Amino acid sequence: MRQFLSVIAFMLIVIGSFSAYSNLGIPQIEPAPPPTEEVIDLGSMDMGQFLALGDRIFNGKGTCTLCHNSLGRAPMLDQIGSNAQARLDDARYAGSATDIEGYLRESLTDPSAYVVAGFGKAGTNDTESPMPGTESGSIALSGPELAAVLAFLQDNGGLEVTVEIPTDMGDEATDENAAEPGEPRAPFTSFQDLSDEFACEACHTIGEEAGDLGPNLSAIGATRDRDYIRRALLDPNAEIAEGFEEGMMPDDLGTQLYATELELLIDHLSQLK
């Protein structure tokens, strides 16, 4: 029993001393808490604050300095002002950017588009970058955050800052989508939907809906024929009803309506008697 107890005591002392050393013998560093999405108020931000935001992301959430530091794990980024153009002109450059801002954006979102010589993944002959894309995965920067980092990189590299502060929190990606021609909408199949969409009743009185900027159309079919109605829709200023002003009605309905919709409108209106 005495042996047993002394063995137990010995083991407890050993474990206790390991614990004690880990707690007292080495500095206790509080690891950074998991990163959270920064609440960015872009509306009230000037360029200085925007750059500071980029700096914060660069050194914090973006985890860029893990590799882009003086230890040679990745290219230093304070020289890009003088390097970026040379890289764009390099024969090995395979990306699609045409200016320096585009190049920087591309190297953030698609790091393998151009790999600085000597920094590629081992065995890939500098065709594949070890850097993760910053829009997805563990870094997952939002559009404005990415823009802030870009602006910071330009400033830090001695370039003129060409990035503009995004105006809304919506991702840049959605802005781009809006600028491109959108999906064609499905045609409307009822008069009421069409009337709601193009706000006819804001000006015209049709049945119970009352507007008084344009003529009352509640019984238009009784006085006008189909050709007149078609012309009034496509070219409203050709003939103005008495007592109303010219130029009130939009004259681009012809380019906004589908043919079926135009016919539907004419059918419906000509039957109002």
What is the per-residue binding string for other proteins in 155-174, x denoting contact by CB under 8 A? xxxx----------------
Q: Contact 115/129 with Cβ under 8 angstroms? A: yes
Shorter beta-carbon distance to other proteins: residue 68 or 268: 68
C-alpha torsion sign, points 255, 257, 263, 266: negative
Shorter beta-carbon distance to other proteins: residue 25 or 43: 25
Nearest to 223 by CA among 178, 191, 270: 270
Shorter beta-carbon distance to other proteins: residue 131 or 249: 131
Shorter beta-carbon distance to other proteins: residue 66 or 169: 66
Q: Contact 209/229 with Cβ under 8 angstroms? A: no
Q: CA 74, CA 64: separation in Å to the nearest integer? A: 10
Q: CA 142, CA 130: separation in Å to the nearest integer? A: 21
Return the residues of window 6-35 that contact other proteins according to CB under 8 A. Answer: 7-8, 10-12, 14-16, 18-19, 21-23, 25-31, 33-35
User: Binder to other proteins among 67, 161, 233, 272 (CB under 8 A)?
Assistant: 67
Return the residues of window 176-235 that contact other proteins according to CB under 8 A. Answer: none
Q: Contact 179/170 with Cβ under 8 angstroms? A: no
Element (H, E) at 115: none
Is 73 a binder of other proteins (CB under 8 A)? yes
User: Binder to other proteins among 37, 59, 176, 238 (CB under 8 A)?
Assistant: 59
Shorter beta-carbon distance to other proteins: residue 59 or 127: 59
What is the per-residue binding string for other proteins in 104-133, x denoting contact by CB under 8 A? ------------------x-------xxx-
Q: Contact 171/242 with Cβ under 8 angstroms? A: no
Element (H, E) at 202: none
Shorter beta-carbon distance to other proteins: residue 7 or 210: 7
Q: CA 223, CA 21: separation in Å to the nearest integer? A: 100
Q: CB 131 → other proteins: shortest distance, Å?
A: 8
Tokens coding 121: 């993944």
3-state SS class at 209: strand
Nearest to 107 by CA among 83, 81, 140, 134: 134
User: Binder to other proteins among 124, 136, 190, 260 (CB under 8 A)?
Assistant: 136
> Footprint of other proteins on this chain (CB under 8 A)?
3-4, 7-8, 10-12, 14-16, 18-19, 21-23, 25-31, 33-35, 59, 63, 65-67, 70, 72-73, 76, 78-79, 122, 130-132, 136-138, 155-158
